[in-house]
């Protein structure tokens, strides 16, 4: 009964949010690096994972998924993007008696960029770089059987040459596990609000943070060793998106993944990945082919304690 009421509330919330925030705000977002996928697994599933409680990194898109974590876990992510751009994340999460909590640091660095001006369009006058930093504090707990709620508190810092900007934001998320629990399949449901904050100011220009509302489901078909995830992103600042991912696993040790994301992107909208999981270590690798730049790979490692 409680879960049926929750579904009604969820559908009503989607309608209210869409009506309340309608309008064209494209191109007005600050801290765009918050839109990047955090890990190889997340990327290989097309960015989906709102209802996926099997990967600790999904706390970045739904803090409610942290409520199902067991023990302690270290997270390491690294990517050498196209050109000299580098992205990385390191985090630690721990289970306590009442709640789960964790802290993570995520960064994006552009590397050196040739400085140009209207008088020197070809450069030769020095270099500069952009740096982006996120400190993410997370906590989650089970408020009722199969219902977990979580929160992220974010500190965001961006630097462009000698200019800096700082801001704070909050994420809220909820996860319903076993929303539908049949012998053949099981369905989980999640929803979250991301990057709720006052925005950022660079010099005299103020911009909003990329506020998003995400809704997703996960279908587990144990007899086929298959999981399917699907998310809908209601982007208040930019373009809405639908993402779908599929994961096949063998004895829950070898994972093969593929995903799709409807957002326009450089190169392709299709993603691929593999994963290996041992008793205390998991390694994930994702691959995205770019037709205009070099193809990029994403590496994630997790240590279970």
Q: Greater confidence, 128 or 66? A: 66
Assign residue 129 a region (left: φ > 0; alpha: ψ between -120 and 50; beta: otherwise). beta
Q: Please write the tens of the pLDDT for every residue from 174-224.
A: 999 988 888 888 999 999 999 999 878 777 777 889 999 999 999 999 888
Residue 98 confidence class, pLDDT cut points 50, 70, 90: confident
Residue 156 has a pLDDT of 94
Max Cα distance, the chain (Å) = 70
Average pLDDT over residues 259-268: 73
Q: Please write the tens of the pLDDT for every residue from 41-83.
A: 999 999 999 999 999 999 999 999 999 888 999 999 998 877 7
277: tokens are 């999981």
Please, what are the domains in the chain?
Answer: 2-304 (2.40.160.60)
Spatial distance between the Cα atoms of 38 and 36, rounded to a whole number of angstroms: 6
- Record the pTM: 0.88
**Residues with Cβ within 8 Å of residue 96, at least 6 apart in sequence:** none
195: tokens are 């990057």
Average confidence score pLDDT of the chain: 85
Residue 294 confidence class, pLDDT cut points 50, 70, 90: low
Q: Decide if 68 contacts 148 (C-beta within 8 A).
A: yes
């Amino acid at each position: 009964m409680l879960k049926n009421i929750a579904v009604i509330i969820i559908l009503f919330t989607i309608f209210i949010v869409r009506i309340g925030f309608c309008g064209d705000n494209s191109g007005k977002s600050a801290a765009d690096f918050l839109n990047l996928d955090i890990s190889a697994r997340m990327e290989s599933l097309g960015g989906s994972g709102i209802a996926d409680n099997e990967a600790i990194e999904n706390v970045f898109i739904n803090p409610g998924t942290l409520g199902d974590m067991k023990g302690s876990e270290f997270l390491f992510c690294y990517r050498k993007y196209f050109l000299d751009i580098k992205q990385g994340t390191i985090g630690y999460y721990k289970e306590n008696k009442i709640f789960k909590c964790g802290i993570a640091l995520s960064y994006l660095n552009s590397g050196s960029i040739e400085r140009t001006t209207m008088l020197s369009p070809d450069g030769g006058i020095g270099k500069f770089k952009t740096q982006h930093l996120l400190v993410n504090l997370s906590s989650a707990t089970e408020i009722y059987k199969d219902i977990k709620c979580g929160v992220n508190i974010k500190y965001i810092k961006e630097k462009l040459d000698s200019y800096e900007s700082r801001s704070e934001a909050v994420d809220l998320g909820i996860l319903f596990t076993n929303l539908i629990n049949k012998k053949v399949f099981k369905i989980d449901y999640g929803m979250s609000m991301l990057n709720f904050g006052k925005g950022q100011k660079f010099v005299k220009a103020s911009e909003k943070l990329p506020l998003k509302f995400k809704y997703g489901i996960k279908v587990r078909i144990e007899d086929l060793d298959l999981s399917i995830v699907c998310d809908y992103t209601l982007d208040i600042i930019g373009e809405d998106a639908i993402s779908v991912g599929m994961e096949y696993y063998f004895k829950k040790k070898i994972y093969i993944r593929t995903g799709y994301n409807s957002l326009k992107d450089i190169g392709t909208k299709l993603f691929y990945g593999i994963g290996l999981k041992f008793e205390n270590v998991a390694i994930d690798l994702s691959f995205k082919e770019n037709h205009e730049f070099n193809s990029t790979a994403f590496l994630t490692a997790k240590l279970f304690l």
